[in-house]
Chain A
């Protein structure tokens, strides 16, 4: 079964510092991996995806993620965090056409 895990419920960083939100995956075959962000009382917004190609994927709002096959990880990163990045982040893997399995989510808090 396809699954993803987000080992941290909460990540706290200071504004201007780099941030990392972790995700590991268990997928048979070549993985397709996604990151989404959710602001309070809003739906999920697509950030970036890895399908194939370069291991470093760049996405929206300055975020990027590194696909690491040997560590089965797809961590989300940003060089310099903003207070406005504070939100709930989900890693996801497609199950079947249009349907995804989501991680439990990680709450990112960026403090001024």
Chain B
């Protein structure tokens, strides 16, 4: 149980285009999901908290107009990187909270490369 999937697992896009990454909870409902960014061999940086049916909560320094988050259902959150630039290239990971409120279940991540 408690499986989180991400799609795509990797994507290459040209500078200036937009890319959408999906995060799904496969066997449970997640009212809250989290989006992280990770640079090589570094820790996870929380970007935003995705709330089902309401606006996402962004961490300080994260541009909400650049990283659009939509949590339209209890099993799906999407992150859209708008007008991507090479500096947006990174590994993006989503997670969903477990029923106890303390565990997190992570997706396998999406490798974004902007050329």
Contacts and interface: CB of A to CB of B under 8 A. Distances in A.
Contact of B103 (A41, A46, A104): A46
Nearest to A107: B41
A36 to B, nearest CB: 8
B98 interface: yes
Tell me if A's interface is mostly helix, strand, loop or mixed: strand
Nearest to B108: A43
Contacts, number: 62
Q: How large is the interface on A (under 10, 10 to 19, 20 to 34, 35 or more residues)?
A: 20 to 34
Main secondary structure of the interface of B (DSSP, over half): strand
A99 B46 contact: yes
Interface residues of B, number: 26
Contacts of B107: 43
Contact of B109 (A41, A90, A104): A41
Interface of B: 4, 6, 32, 34, 41-44, 46, 49, 91, 93, 95-98, 101-109, 111
6 A-B pairs closest in CB distance: A98-B97, A43-B106, A44-B106, A97-B101, A43-B108, A94-B102
Interface of A: 32, 34, 36, 41-46, 49, 51, 88, 90, 94, 97-100, 102-105, 107
